[in-house]
Amino acid sequence: MLIATGKTLVIGIADMKISDNPNSSLITYSLGSCLGIAIYDPMVKVGGLLHVMLPEANNEKYSGDFNPFKYVDSGVPLLFKAAYKFGAEKRRLKVTVVGGAQILDDSGYFNIGKRNLLMLRKLFWKNGMRLC
């Protein structure tokens, strides 16, 4: 995670950035089945962007090179917690989600994009938030 300081910052795959500087721009590219989850609290002008790849970390949490921003179930809570540290409040947050495409799998067997969105909806439901 990096805290932005008034410039354009690119969020890579399995990465997250937070900013409390209204002059900062957070951008990401090439989502495909990945999700780009952006949050913003207009009152305190805190925003964040997370680029996740997969729905669940499962046993990866115990590996030595675990990256929590790679997974919906571990990255999303960290995104919100980081924004809260800068004064953001859940009730004021504007949330935008993009991505979740079905690519490279005509059978739908893996359908990572759909599974990412389902995991995100599950997390939001458990925390009293709605994803439209």
Active site residues: 34
When computed from its CA atoms, the radius of gyration of the chain, rounded to whole angstroms, is 15
Residues contacting 100, CB < 8 A, separation 6+:
31, 33, 34, 35, 113, 114, 116, 117
Q: Do residues 57 and 66 make contact, with C-beta atoms less than 8 angstroms apart?
A: yes
- Inter-residue contact 49 to 35 (CB < 8 Å): no
Query: How far is Cα 121 from Cα 106, in angstroms, rounded to an integer?
Result: 24
Length of the chain: 132
